[in-house]
Structure 1
Amino acid sequence: MRLSAPWHWYKLDSIHTLQLLTFFVKRTEQQIDASTEHFKNNKKEDFIVFSEEEKIGQSVTHYEGLDDMGWDLDKLFTSHFPNLQRKSAFLTLYAFLEHELDKLANKLKDEISHPARLEDIAGNGIHRSFSYMQLIVGLKIDKSDNRWNKIYQINKLRNMIIHSDGQLSADETARKSEEKFMAILKSHITVRDGELVLELTFLPYVIQQFDALFQFIDGAIQLKFSTKRSKKKKLSKKKRGSTKATNK
Structure 2
Amino acid sequence: MNVDLGGRTALVTGSSQGIGAAIATGLARAGARVGVNGRDAERLERSVGKLRAEAPDGDFVAVAADLGTEEGAAQAVDALPDVDILVNNLGIFGPTPALEITDDEWRRYFDINVLSAVRLIRSYLPRMTDQGWGRVLNIASDSAVVIPTEMIHYGMSKTALLAVSRGFAKEAAGSGVTVNSVIAGPTHTEGVEDFVYQLVDRELPWDEAQRTFMRNHRPQSLLQRLIKPEEIANLVVYLSSPLASATTGGAVRVDGGYVDSILP
- TM-score normalised per structure 2: 0.29
Task: Please state which structure has a larger fraction of its residues in strand.
Answer: 2
Choose 1 or 2 for highest CA Rg.
Answer: 1
Task: Please state which structure has a larger fraction of its residues in helix.
Answer: 1
- TM-score normalised per structure 1: 0.31
